[in-house]
């Protein structure tokens, strides 16, 4: 028996099985270096690079990005299976004397390992010795177990994705698509539901807790994009957080306790996910002109407002706790950053700008620079 070759195979198999255990079974992020982490980071970098250079734009490009997360899950399974076959192949090649007929090269041993891991069992090579039989049985068990775990993992991912999207989709009727905090507050004032804002914030606080728990445990969920046009969970979260910040700093007469809890939960969410991805934000990404426009629209909607200058200072400080991280996440996942302020047509229907009507203000230019830097770094 070639001891070193056998031990090399044992190490490969052990690393793969431990990676599967950490990725699927353990419901929390691992501080160590994992195979799947490198797979996702490298493959997403290539996928985004290719998407940015395609002729498609808008929804076509977003649909292309939407293929990534399911494909990454399948890619992870393939890589795990291949590495298991390599590991067991090395082990079987090291004890090739226990196989009948004995493999004459490493490729034949890999072939037999593949039939064992995938439980094909053609019978052209048979384990004759006790050690080879043991390795073959363990290979078959680990192959079956891996496929079963990945299938269960996919169902869990899709269930978490559907729970995440429920509130994101319902926000369209209240804040349009892409969602806007100012539009959300205008709609609530127009349909006489301002007193229901605390209930909205409470529902989103629960949503934040669920998303934090699921996306920190299974970071691949962050790459799943909404199945609806012009909507993303990041832009929806940003709209709700901006609405909460406006209630806390600008609008009078609305209970502020639940808005504060929702803003804290959202800031915690984007901070933790940003830390997992190694992203940092540059603070608030809104300028005074935008705030003045939002202030005027809220005033026209019938809200009682704080002093304009005082509200601006407090809003800028409040938004700085989450906006930079949120924009960094949007840049990394190639989704639109939060369109926190929409625009109205003369007829009064709410629409949203897709391109700025004027040159970017300094704060907006900083956000663009942040997105470019994140794209280059990752």
- Cα first-last separation, the chain: 44
Residue 34: its pLDDT value, please? 73
What tokens were used for 257? 């306790």
User: How distant, in Å, are the alpha carbons of 95, 102, 139, 197 from that of 106?
Assistant: 11, 11, 17, 66
What is the structure's pLDDT at 195? 93
Cα 5 to Cα 2, 90, 91, 98, 375, distances in angstroms: 6, 6, 7, 15, 41
The pLDDT value recorded for residue 285 is 61
Beta bridge partners of 251: 305
Average pLDDT across each block of 10 residues of the chain; the chain has 378 residues. List them in order: 89 93 78 75 90 68 86 92 94 89 89 90 83 92 92 90 90 83 93 93 96 90 83 90 95 93 94 88 74 93 93 91 90 80 41 34 43 48
Nearest Cα to Cα of residue 337 among 357, 352, 315, 316: 352
Q: What 3-state class would DSSP assign to 305?
A: strand
Three-state DSSP class for residue 108: helix
Asked if 341 contacts 181 with a C-beta cutoff of 8 angstroms, the reply is yes
Delimit the domains of the chain by residue range.
3-150, 171-377
For residue 68, count other CB atoms closer than 10 A to its CB: 23
Which pLDDT score, from 0 to 100, does residue 342 have?
59
* pLDDT value, residue 284: 56
Residue-level pLDDT at 353 = 34
**Contact, 340 vs 315, CB < 8 A?**
no
The predicted structure's pLDDT at residue 32: 56
Predicted local confidence at residue 98, as pLDDT: 86
Count CB-CB contacts under 10 A for residue 209.
13
Residues whose CB is less than 8 angstroms from the CB of residue 285 and which lie 6 or more positions away in sequence, other chains included: 323, 324, 327, 337, 363, 364, 366, 367, 370
CA distance 249 to 162: 33
Distance CA 179, CA 195 (A): 20
Would you state the pLDDT for residue 16? 93
SS3 state of residue 343: strand
- Tell me the C-alpha to C-alpha distance, in Å, between residue 374 and each of 268, 281, 334: 20, 10, 10
CATH C-level class of 3-150: mainly alpha
């Amino acid at each position: 028996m070639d001891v070193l070759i056998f031990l090399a195979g044992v190490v490969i198999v052990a690393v793969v099985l431990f990676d599967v255990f950490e990725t699927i079974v353990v419901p929390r992020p691992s501080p160590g270096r994992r195979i799947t982490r490198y797979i996702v980071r490298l493959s997403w970098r290539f996928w985004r690079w290719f998407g940015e250079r395609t002729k498609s734009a808008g929804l076509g490009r977003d649909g292309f990005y939407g293929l990534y997360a399911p494909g990454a899950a399948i890619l992870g399974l393939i890589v795990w299976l291949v590495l298991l076959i390599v590991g067991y192949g090395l082990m079987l090649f090291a004890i090739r004397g226990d196989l009948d007929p004995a493999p004459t090269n490493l490729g034949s041993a890999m072939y037999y390992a593949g039939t064992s891991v995938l439980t094909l069992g053609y019978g052209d090579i048979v384990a004759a010795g006790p050690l080879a039989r043991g390795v073959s049985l363990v290979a078959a068990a680990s192959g079956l177990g891996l496929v079963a775990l990945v299938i269960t993992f996919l169902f869990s991912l899709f269930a978490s994705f559907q729970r995440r999207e429920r509130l994101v989709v319902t926000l369209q009727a209240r804040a349009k698509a892409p969602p806007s905090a100012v539009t959300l507050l205008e709609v609530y004032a127009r349909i006489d539901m301002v007193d229901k804002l605390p209930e909205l914030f409470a529902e989103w606080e629960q949503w934040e807790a669920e998303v934090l728990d699921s996306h920190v445990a299974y970071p691949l969920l962050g790459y799943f994009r909404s199945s609806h046009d012009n909507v993303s969970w990041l832009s929806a979260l940003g709209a709700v957080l901006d609405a909460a910040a406006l209630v806390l700093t600008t609008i009078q007469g609305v209970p502020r306790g639940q808005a504060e809890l929702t803003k804290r939960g959202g800031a915690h969410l984007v901070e933790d996910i940003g830390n997992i991805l190694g992203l940092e934000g540059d603070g608030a990404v809104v300028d005074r002109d935008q705030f003045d426009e939002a202030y005027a629209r809220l005033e026209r909607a019938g809200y009682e407002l704080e002093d304009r200058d005082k509200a601006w200072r407090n809003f800028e400080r409040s938004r700085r706790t989450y906006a930079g991280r949120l924009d960094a996440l949007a840049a990394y996942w190639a989704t639109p950053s939060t369109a926190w302020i929409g625009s109205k047509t003369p007829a009064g229907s709410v629409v949203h700008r897709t391109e700025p009507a004027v040159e970017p203000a300094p704060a907006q230019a900083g956000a663009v620079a942040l997105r470019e830097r994140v794209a280059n770094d990752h």
